[in-house]
A and B are shown apart, each in its own frame.
Chain A
Amino acid sequence: MNITIIGNLLQILLIIIALTIVLSSDNIKMVIFFSAFSLITSGLYYFNKAPDVALAEVAIGSAIMPLILIISISKQRVFMVVNYADDDFLSSEEGKEGRGYEILASFSEYYKLKLEIHPKEDGEPQGLFTNRSVDLLVEKCPSTNKYLLKGKKSSILMNKLEQMTIDKWDIEVLKIKEGETDD
Chain B
Amino acid sequence: MNPILSFIVVLIGVYGLATSKNIIKSIICINITQTAVVLIFLNLGSFNFGDIPIITDEVIPMVDPLPQALMITTIIIGTTITALALMLSIKTFHYYGTLDWKEMMGRE
A contact set with B: CB distance below 8 Å: 4, 7-8, 11-12, 14-15, 18-19, 21-22, 25, 27, 30-31, 34, 37-38, 41, 44-45, 47-53, 56-57, 60-61, 64-65, 68-69, 72-73, 75-77, 133, 135, 152, 154-158
CA distance A180 to B79 in the complex (A): 37
Say which size band chain B's interface belongs to. 35 or more
Given contacts A45-B39, A68-B86, A72-B89, contact A21 B46 (CB under 8 A): no
The residue among A22, A25, A41, A60 with the most chain B CB atoms within 10 A of its own CB is A22
CB–CB A57/B75 < 8 A = yes
Given contacts A30-B28, A76-B89, contact A11 B75 (CB under 8 A): no
**Chain B interface secondary structure, helix, strand, loop or mixed?**
helix
CB–CB B103/A156 < 8 A = yes
CB–CB A60/B76 < 8 A = yes
Since A68-B82, A76-B99 are in contact, a sample of 5 more A-B pairs with Cβ atoms closer than 8 Å, ordered by chain A residue number, is A4-B48, A8-B5, A11-B5, A27-B24, A64-B79
Select B2's contact among A11, A52, A76, beta carbons within 8 Å.
Answer: A11
CB–CB A8/B2 < 8 A = yes
CB–CB A53/B38 < 8 A = yes
CB–CB A44/B1 < 8 A = yes
